[in-house]
Chain A
């Protein structure tokens, strides 16, 4: 990479959205998406996550993968707040279609340094219509 490209990359803040569309197990997309999010957090971008379709299952609480012999990676979502990833938009219609309510999801929080480090919820239920607007406002959408 040339030096001017490097300089251009530094200092640029773009709105990155990671769109999670698939169930946490069954395919590797969800796990590898989370790996991108965690690495990407080091780049000081304006990051948010969307959960739509079966992707909403990624946030289910009480995940237990013992019987399928695959690592339960859901605890890693709990670390997102520490990485300044605090905007998780979950589509309400996708939740409704699968009989899920907010209570069925993990409690994920972040500490707001501009508000005396108050703990705030990271998960925001939004309508399909609102999700359209949120997606439309992004610079970079990475879909998994």
Chain B
């Protein structure tokens, strides 16, 4: 369904008007609206047929990648929503490793390396270095920051 939307949008705006976005999320879920707004922006971007080269989560933004969040059932599930959007659209969702480590967000490999009992990164996110943020800025036509 997305592939159809994309080709439709591209026909409307013309290939050359497809914009490559890098999205940076600097705040955690629920306390701050930044992650919600970034999520809505990402959906709108894809619906218009544009490209997202990467979503990079920094500062408390790394908490958006936890698989241990249990929000009330009548509320949105921010980490799951991101993971689903990433899965549906093959997005590169990256948690900064330095920011993640100091906040206790560890994938399986890091948890093992640090001798921790458990890992807590949701499927669909990956942990990597700050270089991924700079690289996204180089590759994207527009880099958009969501945060304070």
Chain A residues with Cβ below 8 Å from B59 are: 28-29, 32
Indicate the member of B58, B129, B140 with the most A CB atoms within 10 Å. B58
Chain B residues with Cβ below 8 Å from A43 are: 131, 134-135, 138
Shortest beta-carbon distance from B139 to chain A in Å? 6
18 A-B contact pairs sorted by A residue (CB < 8 Å)? A1-B92, A9-B135, A9-B139, A16-B134, A28-B59, A32-B99, A35-B98, A35-B130, A39-B129, A39-B130, A42-B131, A43-B131, A43-B138, A139-B137, A140-B140, A140-B143, A143-B145, A144-B26
Chain A residues with Cβ below 8 Å from B148 are: 29
Chain A residues with Cβ below 8 Å from B53 are: 5
Size of chain A's interface in residues, with CB distance under 8 A?
A: 23
The answer for the CA separation of A18 and B119 in the assembled complex, in Å, is 32
Task: Kindly state whether residue A108 has any CB partner on chain B within 8 Å.
Answer: no
The answer for the CA separation of A8 and B136 in the assembled complex, in Å, is 11
**A142 near B137: Cβ-Cβ < 8 Å:** yes
Task: Kindly state whether residue B24 has any CB partner on chain A within 8 Å.
Answer: yes
6 more A-B residue pairs beyond the given contacts A36-B130, A36-B133, with a C-beta to C-beta distance below 8 A: A32-B58, A40-B130, A140-B138, A141-B143, A142-B143, A144-B26
Q: What is A's interface to B at a CB cutoff of 8 Å?
A: 1, 5, 8-9, 12, 14, 16, 28-29, 32, 35-36, 39-40, 42-43, 45, 139-144
Q: What is B's interface to A at a CB cutoff of 8 Å?
A: 24, 26, 53, 58-59, 92, 98-99, 129-131, 133-135, 137-140, 143, 145, 147-148
The answer for the CA separation of A14 and B58 in the assembled complex, in Å, is 21
Chain B residues with Cβ below 8 Å from A139 are: 137
**A14 near B138: Cβ-Cβ < 8 Å:** yes
Chain B residues with Cβ below 8 Å from A28 are: 59
